[in-house]
Structure 1
């Protein structure tokens, strides 16, 4: 039987939690968990721990929360731990080469895309926004580049027609945990192979900004519907009506030719508010006003009129 590997786990959001749980259950020795500092959250702006910290504390692992990993003190702390591996899952900071050189075997990352597609911070969201039919997870050996290291294992999955970024994040987090454990098993039995990425095929998934959620009604309805799913829950797809910000959570596509300007409200029928786009029609089903809550469109329109002919933008 192979000896347990000494691992430093680095991760921060919900996406990283299943991987930490899987490592805990696998019998490997987790010598420390590194995560981002507690951040203000909610209306009260109280400090809240990241999800990975919560589970690490539950398991009793030592937790480190460096504001920056590029310090002598953090480097020395990692060196003293003498790990076999760093396992990095959506940590949120880029590790310099001098840190990557510390583990005896190397550093493995669990990335939520089919590399070299969607390198960067928001691969799940951009895959949906761009209308991809397929995505997956990749384990790779880390180097000093951004998601440029050799591929170890890859698992693919179809993107469901109604999946939001929240839904897909949950599925890929579990898939990533399974793929990580398979990667470590093959590492230990000597069957793991490395495949260099084809850098000419690389695409990028930068961190989303608030402005990325603004709907351009001149786009085709199918593109707008993908945007709505891809930016849920943050920053959320939004538009304006007479200065009022409207956040759209759910919509369908009607393949109907129209001849009015994009953004024009066509009609409201039970369960749908139909809006013209650059091609076909968007049928809004769930929406939220400036100071309200997420509502089915019928309930929303009971308290806020959006007459036919109103132009959104």
Structure 2
């Protein structure tokens, strides 16, 4: 089949690479413009763009895929199927109507749970035992199209958001391959999503990583894993930000929320709303990443006032 691929995020790279090496004809790639990245703000191209250029695949990078020039180019490519994966923009009805067969989306959750940008973090934050890929038809309403297929797999007990992202990236090619195989056999209407089971997870901001120590230790432990590496989790120590990294270990002591309970097995123990957490690695504002025990040795007075 003749396919146009629309993607920007790193999670799409393995799937796009596999598509380039499949028997399908890739007519073009739509990705977002190169962006400044890192502390030095180096202008960086999406990884999928580099893959396309290596294979001589045409690439367009519109600021908005609603632009008429972008829509015209996609029409000129005459796709049978458009594949969308971590593209990062809302798609117009004009775009949805372009392909002759279908426009499909690979979404990194088992829909209808976790519609939206924070789908990987959402599964971890809620303590789900499994997640996976959903391949759906694209409609104007966010992540709401009929489900073509799902590829579920188990979430590991101590998995972080970054680790789960990487496993999903490796599982993406098989999900797309199976979906495209269905389309070679005929039309695939899919199964409507159950609207009563919908959970929305909007894009996360850095401030979303602030820890509320009044919550149970189990919830905070999941948050620390889910939000690593983005947006990260933090608290305040002595009026300055303290980044907290996984793993953190659940313990059973009690105290006022955020209270320093002492050292346990070489880590700082902090009271939560229910239970306590033993911290492993932290990073004080303006300093390097270090063990929590090192912070306890150097900043005991501030630590005795608790984490805020």
Same fold (TM over 0.5): yes
Match of 2:2 among 6, 11, 25: 6
Ranges in structure 2 where 5+ consecutive residues have no aligned partner: none
The structure 2 residue matched to 1:220, chosen from 201, 212, 216, is 216
Map residues 260-299 of structure 1 onto 2, 5 A cutoff: 260-299=255-294
Match of 1:36 among 14, 21, 32: 32
> Residues 287 and 84 (structure 1 numbering): CA distance in 2 closer, same or farther, change over 3 Å?
same
Of residues 243, 247, 252, the one that matches 2:248 is 252
Pick from 165, 169, 182 the counterpart of residue 169 of structure 1: 165
Give the Cα–Cα distance (whole angstroms) in 1 for the partners of residues 289 and 47 of structure 2: 25
Confirm whether residue 118 of structure 1 aligns to residue 114 of structure 2.
Answer: yes
Partners in 1 of 2:288 and 2:100 — Cα distance?
51
Is the contact made by 1:97 and 1:144 (CA closer than 8 Å) also made in structure 2?
yes
Q: How far does residue 298 in structure 1 lie from its aligned partner after superposition? A: 3.6
Is contact 1:218-1:277 (8 Å) kept? yes
Unaligned runs of 5+ in 1: none
2:63 maps to which residue?
67
State the match for 1:84 in structure 2: 80
C-alpha RMSD over aligned residues: 1.7
Number of matched residues? 308
Find the partner of 1:204 among 197, 200, 203. Answer: 200
Structure 1 residue matching 2:212: 3-state secondary structure: coil
CA distance in 1 between counterparts of 2:293 and 2:156 reads 26
What is the TM-score of this pair, normalised by structure 2? 0.95
Matched, 1:158 2:154: yes
Note if 1:135 corresponds to 2:131.
Answer: yes
Report if the CA contact (8 A) 2:268-2:296 is conserved: no
How far did 1:270 drift? 4.4
CA distance in 2 between partners of 1:300 and 1:22 (Å): 46
> Post-superposition shift, 1:304?
4.5
1:294 positional shift = 2.8
Partner SS, residue 26 of structure 1: coil
